[in-house]
Structure 1
Amino acid sequence: MDAELEQTLAAIGPRLRSLRRDRGMTLEELSAATGISVSRLSRIESGKRRPTLELLIPIARAHRVALDQLIAAPATGDPRVHLTPLRRREGSVLIPLTQYPGRLKVFKQVIAPCPRRLVTHDGYEWLFVLAGELLLVLGERELILRPGEVAEFDTSEPHWFGPNGDHSVEILHIFGRKGHKATVRAHPVDH
């Protein structure tokens, strides 16, 4: 076996452990979700057992990640990112820009007109308007954001966002499930 393959295989266990811990899961919870025994999962994470496809597929499903993200498949030399748009209700599209397990999820969204329905959940959201006008409802407040404008808010506050009017709006959307905030730093340009 060549050194690169050996290194890739050796890194799978620690990657699986890190992924599980980042998601706040115990071995027992992952075992319940996958049907794989706690001892087998522990041996895989510690590198004492090499995972097979039969073991990796249920783990990938439990974490909702692509199989190649679990094994960190070697790069093909093609730098293009192959995005898979998810079509939603009439005219709305969600494009996941991050497909790795992590704290922040990034999406590009085209949101078609839709009814308002305030929701709450754990996390923090950051919205950047690319095109159109976004209506953001936060509790009793209504804000209109135009291209280039940004909003960030705690999702435990009742909220809803969508187009302001009859035309779709296009946004970049960053979401952190455990309240992680997006940090944007800008430095003035000296002329």
Structure 2
Amino acid sequence: MTQQDGELDSLVRRRIRALRVAQGWSLEELATRARLSPSSLSRIENGRRRLALDQLVTLARALDTSLDQLVETDTDDVIANPMIDGAHGLMRWPIKADPGVTVMRQRMTNPPPDNPARMRAHPGREWLVVLSGTAILLLGNRRLRVETNQAAEFPTMLPHAIGAEGGPCEVLGIFDRDARRGHPADKGIAVK
């Protein structure tokens, strides 16, 4: 076993235990859900039993995760630097998420467009929460004021646009796969 293999082995064992503890489950509870004996599970968590692929698949299911997430090692890009779009008064921080879902933190300074022709419509759904400031969401013929700690969810087939009101505004947005395709700038995502 190489050092890298040993590190992955240790990481997976720590994840299994951490996920079990996060669920508030005892060894017995997870062992029952995974159809293992509590002593086998204890030896897996403590490194005294070999990790077998079939057991990892069963444990991942019992812990309501995927095998990929259980053994993931990609932690190289933990820090995300903002992308600055000075022309539109936006600062964006891309955040990793599950495939098909994009999470984007955005800092906006400009109001939404006053020209209805600049509103977008496309398949999908979007969800957003205002982290600070006040956002204006144009949704069809409606003008909605979304304040700090308020959230909005809408089908993106409605023409829509978003901007800041009275100063900078930070928004955390979640786009499904179709909504992400509707925002082609900035590596597949553009903020309205």
State the distance in 2 between where 1:95 and 1:106 align.
9
Amino acid at match of 2:135: L
Q: Deviations over 1:16-45 (max 9, x none)?
A: xxxxxxxxxxxxxxxxxxxxxxxxxxxxxx
Partner SS for 2:86: coil
Matches within 5 A, 1:21-36: none
State the distance in 2 between where 1:142 and 1:81 align.
37
| Structure 2 match to 1:138 | 139
State the distance in 2 between where 1:3 and 1:110 align.
42
Partner SS for 2:178: coil
Gap runs ≥5 in structure 2: 9-71, 181-192
Partner SS for 1:128: strand
Amino acid at match of 1:93: M
Quickly say closer, same or farther: Cα 1:74–1:112, change in 2 above 3 A.
closer
Identity percentage of aligned residues: 32
How many pairs does the alignment contain? 113
Quickly say closer, same or farther: Cα 1:135–1:115, change in 2 above 3 A.
closer
Instruction: Verify the 8 A CA contact 2:112 2:138 in the aligned structure 1.
Output: no
**Cα offset for 1:75?**
5.0
Match of 1:97 among 92, 95, 98: 95
Instruction: Verify the 8 A CA contact 1:106 1:175 in the aligned structure 2.
Output: yes
Gap runs ≥5 in structure 1: 9-71, 181-191
Q: Give the TM-score of the pair, scaled to structure 1.
A: 0.50
**Cα offset for 1:162?**
0.6
Q: Deviations over 1:72-92 (max 9, x none)?
A: 65657xxx8210211113441
**Cα offset for 1:179?**
6.6
| Structure 2 match to 1:113 | 110
Alpha-carbon RMSD = 3.2
**Cα offset for 1:173?**
0.7
Matches within 5 A, 1:38-53: none
**Cα offset for 1:153?**
0.3
Find out whether 1:150 has 2:151 as its counterpart.
yes
| Structure 2 match to 1:176 | 176
**Cα offset for 1:123?**
1.4
Match of 1:86 among 52, 62, 83: 83
Q: Give the TM-score of the pair, scaled to structure 2.
A: 0.50
